[in-house]
Amino acid sequence: MTRRLRKLPRAGFALPAALFAVVLVSAFVAGALFVATEELRTGREDGADQRALAAAEWALERAILTWDSRRNVTQPIGRTDTIAAEYRAPNDTAVVTATRVQRRAVWLVATATRGGDGRAIPARHTVAASLRLVNVRFPTTAALTSGGAVVVDGGVVDGRAAAALGDTADCPESSSAAGIRVPDVSRVTCPTCAASSESGVFGLPPIDSSGITDSTFAVVVNAMIASLVRRASIDLPGGTMTPRPTAGMASCDLTDPLNWGDPGGTSSCGDWLPVIHVRGSVVLGAGSVGQGILVVDGSVRVEGGARFVGMVIARGDVAVSGLNAEIAGAVFAAPGGSSAASRITDGGSIRFEPCAVQRASMMAARPVRTPERWWIELR
């Protein structure tokens, strides 16, 4: 009788081993994918963060570089204005605000936000800067300061401070000055001073010669002209011209080289006080209207019916002649010596207006970083 052997069941390990290997490899793959995803996310976040910081710094520097000098005379202390940064990048924004903390101090804050490429990855940075408004120093101690001779015949040179123009906050230091300041009082000729009370030289004192010589005057005027030429908003050749304000429906046309602002303040050009540089001599014809700082490499002639408000600085002589011909502010003329004569005749006038001088001076100011720590990261 043959005995049949029974097959005993055998427990296999290949399948469990294969499954375990698959699970282990999947875990490694999942872990590697998780680590890679986190590194990618972290890298993108770091990149977005750095880009936001760079955008904030760029916006701040651009705001300083493209500073609108009209803000110097229109923004009151304590007010915050938003400056358009013109930052053009996908999903990125940059905003700059300017706060007037003092008459000559500004606080700029730039905030930039960086979005993600297809997926929002918020990144935000804020940087700030402390700036000073620095302008050219004008030794305005007289209505007319001249290094040459001065003839006043039927005209007026008045150093007594005129009434404030507009907001008195624009001119906190209003005071009277001398009428004419020259190195030698003998250079002033006024044949009508004793004959008429309506023409002549007036001021505190009418004529002053203290602290001024031909050499020092030339140095001061040349230094002022050199500084102002670099800040000029308008550059023109010499000649006869009739500037007038050019204003649209809601804005002042700053591209017109003969738009020198509106001293009457009746249009949108009332806050436009440019620095005008004339390469040569200039004649302001009848009907001319302007304000700001007029820098002339030659002589200046203001004809009847022409009016300029602010500072006039000329290397040559200044003539204001004719009815209603007027310079309201302060004048520096003829640094070349006593041979050049400035003339205020036939109803012309030079009247000292400290408000006009200070407004024009503030308009020419430029933002400069404060010493030491001028920049700070707020976020």
Q: Give the E-state strand segments of 90-198 in sequence order.
A: 92-102, 105-114, 123-134, 142-146, 149-153, 156-158, 178-181, 188-189
Q: Which two tokens stand for residue 99?
A: 């706060």
Q: What is the DSSP letter of 165?
A: P
How high is the pLDDT of residue 306?
Answer: 97
How high is the pLDDT of residue 289?
Answer: 96
How high is the pLDDT of residue 47?
Answer: 67
How high is the pLDDT of residue 165?
Answer: 46
Q: Which two tokens stand for residue 185?
A: 């009082």
How high is the pLDDT of residue 342?
Answer: 93
Domain boundaries, the chain: 50-135+366-377, 142-363
- Give dist(CA 279, CA 298) in Å, integer: 7
How high is the pLDDT of residue 70?
Answer: 87
pTM assigned to the model: 0.81
- Successive 10-residue mean pLDDT values, the chain, 379 residues: 59 72 79 70 68 85 89 90 71 86 91 67 84 86 91 92 54 76 91 75 90 84 90 94 86 92 89 94 96 95 96 94 95 71 93 91 89 79
How high is the pLDDT of residue 213?
Answer: 85
